[in-house]
């Protein structure tokens, strides 16, 4: 048990370890750096010593019980999670599940993101725009007792959006969190309960399970993603088209669209289950055919700004406007480095630029420098050479339409002999497992890409040809990727909405 009593702990919180952001505020770190990309400044939440289960279930049915070692994969990890030094936390007899869940005050999904070994970001919409408390905890030494590791008073923006970066967490640990109404010692209601796992320690090497999603579609039901929720995974990766905001122009219209999506029960439950890394695609602003990325029209530029402001005020991504640098990377020990790309809003078709040269230079260097066994590239639009004239008709909307940019990246991976690069993608409304080229000696011919759709349907997915495509489907699926450093393989599992496996194979570059 930690020997820090409650008042002393709150003194630590106010004076120094967690930084709270509200919409439009906060210092932006330097994006595009390895080991977490953007950096946070300070923290007023503090620490926990090891990962343990909370055993608390909220009204959504989310059970946030995890293995007491902090490992959710069911595989051996060599013992408990690494303890943090001198944890400033207090134990309290408190049952979050006993508080009423107030979905009117907290109408949207609770979310966590930017997971690093010692920190995570938490975001929420507070509908009454009044001060609330964020509490982060894990199980204590006795049943019914929790170890509170952060309790942060947060005043949101005038429209209710709030972000909090909590530092001082422990690597590879699961935490529960909720937003609370009332005052410490007299909380009266709460948001849904979420859970998040911090990135594993920098020298750790253990299996990692990732849930993939993209192309949600216009439906507010998400059965393909819900099919994954019986499986514990370390994080969710969303590859874009999280909301279909087509036709919106004003900031209020974009906010209303996001509210509709993020208030849907399936999305509330899914985003509460794990931390999130996300990139965007076209529908976060508008369908690609309705927006010129190089426009100088003031009305269109304002529309773009409104769309991006709405995106970043809601999601747990550490970036500030007006320009919002999205690309960054996150290392999970020595197992995997996850590279988040911006494959939409740095495009310049007039000069053949798919991503900016700054992003390209960062990506190449970061891939070369990564000590991780697996390099996982969040690539919102495919880099695979898609087959046939039907696909080629829309090649200008993906890497294929920018051959110089594509050749620069794939040539660098080949020339530097960078191993175990796995591209993840969405956009095309199909699920697939591919090699980037079909039986050629071109750069990228031996690389793999995994595509997913979580909502929208494309009939061409059922006729993707072998041997370039190991698997193809027109239908939405859940997708789980299990990266196993011991076998140097990736298990790829596509789950149908009824819970059955449509594809379940171990893939390896060693074969």
Asked whether residue 81 carries a pLDDT value surpassing 70, the answer given is no
Over its C-alpha atoms, the chain yields an Rg (Å, rounded) of: 22
The CATH class, in words, for 6-197 is mainly beta
Asked if 181 and 105 count as a contact pair (C-beta separation under 8 A), the reply is yes
pLDDT-based confidence at 86, cuts 50/70/90? very low
Residue 66 has a pLDDT of 29
pLDDT of residue 496 exceeding 60: yes
Q: Would you list the domain boundaries of the chain?
A: 6-197, 208-507
Domain 208-507 has CATH 3.60.21.70: yes
pLDDT attached to residue 443: 85
Report the distance separating Cα 352 and Cα 343, nearest Å.
Answer: 13
Which three-class secondary structure state does DSSP give residue 408? Answer: helix
**In this model, does residue 154 exceed pLDDT 60?**
yes
Q: Which pair of tokens denotes residue 345?
A: 């809003």
Among 36-40, 190-194, 220-224, top mean pLDDT goes to 190-194
- SS3 of residue 459 by DSSP: helix
Q: What percent of the chain has pLDDT over 90?
A: 70
pLDDT tens per residue, range 315-340: 999 999 999 999 999 999 999 999 99
Across 166-175, average pLDDT: 94
Q: Is 489 helix (H, G, I), strand (E, B) or coil?
A: strand
**Edge-to-edge strand ranges of the sheet holding 431-435:** 328-332, 336-340, 374-378, 421-425, 448-451, 431-435, 469-473
Apex 451 CA angle, 119 and 235, nearest 5: 20
Tell me what the pLDDT averaged over the chain comes to.
84
What count of other Cβ atoms lies within 10 Å of the Cβ of residue 409? 23
d(CA 355, CA 488): 30
DSSP of 15-46, one letter per residue? HTBBEEEETT-S----TT-TTTSS----BS--
Per-residue pLDDT of 226-278, as tens digits, reads 888 888 999 999 999 999 999 999 999 999 999 999 999 999 999 999 999 99
């Amino acid at each position: 048990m930690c020997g820090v009593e409650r008042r002393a702990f709150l003194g630590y919180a106010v004076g120094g370890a967690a930084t709270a952001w509200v919409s439009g505020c906060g210092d932006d770190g330097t994006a595009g750096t390895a080991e977490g990309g953007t950096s946070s400044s300070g923290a007023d939440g503090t620490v926990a010593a090891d990962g343990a289960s909370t055993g608390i279930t909220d009204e959504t049915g989310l059970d946030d019980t995890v293995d007491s070692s902090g490992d959710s994969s069911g595989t051996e990890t060599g013992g408990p999670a690494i303890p943090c030094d001198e944890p400033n936390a207090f134990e309290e007899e408190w049952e979050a599940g006993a508080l009423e869940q107030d979905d009117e005050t907290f109408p949207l999904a609770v979310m966590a993101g930017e997971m690093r070994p010692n920190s995570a970001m938490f975001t929420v919409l507070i509908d009454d725009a009044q001060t609330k408390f964020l509490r982060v905890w894990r199980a204590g030494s006795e049943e019914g007792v929790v170890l509170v590791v952060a309790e942060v008073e947060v005043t949101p923006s005038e429209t209710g959006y709030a972000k909090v970066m909590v530092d001082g967490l422990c690597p590879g640990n699961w935490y529960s969190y909720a937003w609370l109404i009332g005052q410490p010692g007299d909380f009266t209601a709460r948001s849904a309960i979420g859970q998040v796992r911090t990135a594993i320690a920098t020298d750790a090497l253990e299996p990692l399970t990732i849930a993939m999603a993209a192309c949600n579609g216009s439906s507010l039901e998400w059965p393909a993603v819900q099919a994954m929720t019986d499986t514990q995974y370390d994080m969710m990766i969303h590859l874009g088209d999280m909301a279909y905001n087509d036709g919106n122009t004003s900031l209020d219209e974009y906010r209303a669209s996001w509210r509709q999506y993020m208030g849907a029960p399936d999305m509330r439950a899914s985003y509460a289950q794990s931390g999130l890394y996300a990139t965007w695609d076209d529908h976060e602003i508008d369908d690609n055919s309705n927006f010129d990325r190089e426009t100088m029209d003031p009305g269109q530029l304002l529309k773009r700004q409104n769309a991006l402001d709405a995106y970043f005020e809601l999601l747990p991504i550490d970036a500030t406007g007006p320009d919002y640098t999205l690309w960054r990377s996150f290392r999970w020990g020595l197992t995997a480095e996850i590279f988040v790309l911006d494959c939409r809003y740095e495009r310049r078709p007039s000069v053949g630029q798919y991503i900016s040269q700054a992003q390209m230079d960062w990506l190449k260097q970061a891939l070369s420098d990564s000590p991780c066994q697996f390099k996982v590239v969040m690539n919102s639009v495919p880099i695979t050479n898609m087959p046939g004239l039907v696909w080629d008709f829309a090649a200008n909307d993906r890497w294929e339409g920018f051959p110089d940019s594509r050749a620069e990246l794939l040539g660098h991976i080949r020339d530097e002999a960078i191993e175990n690069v796995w591209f993840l993608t969405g956009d095309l409304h199909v699920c697939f497992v591919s090699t980037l080229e079909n039986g050629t000696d071109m750069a990228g011919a031996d690389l793999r890409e995994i595509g997913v759709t979580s909502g929208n349907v494309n009939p061409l997915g059922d006729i993707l040809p072998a041997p370039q495509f190991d698997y193809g489907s027109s239908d939405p699926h859940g997708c789980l990727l299990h990266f196993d450093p011991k076998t140097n393989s990736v298990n790829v599992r596509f789950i149908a909405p009824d819970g059955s496996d449509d594809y379940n194979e171990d893939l390896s570059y060693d074969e």
